[in-house]
Amino acid sequence: MKKSDSSPSGDTPEEELERLRKENERLKSKLKSQKEADKAKIRDLRKKLKKKNVPSVRLTEEQRRLLS
Structural domain contains residue 40: yes
Within 8 A by CB and 6+ apart from 16, the residues are 6, 7
Stated pTM of the model: 0.52
Check: CB of residue 16 under 8 Å from CB of residue 6: yes
Query: Which residues touch 27 (CB under 8 Å, ≥6 apart)?
Result: none
Please check the confidence at residue 30 and state whether its pLDDT lies above 60.
yes
63 in any annotated domain: no
Count of structural domains, the chain: 1
Range of the domain at 26: 13-54
Residue 3 within any structural domain of the chain: no
Residue 1 pLDDT level (bands cut at 50, 70, 90): very low
Is 43 contained in some domain?
A: yes
Model confidence at 3: pLDDT above 70: no
The Cα 5–Cα 12 span in angstroms is: 11
- How big is the chain, counted in residues? 68
Taking only the tens place, the pLDDT of each residue in 34-68 is: 999 999 999 998 888 877 765 677 888 888 888 87
Does residue 5 form part of some domain? no
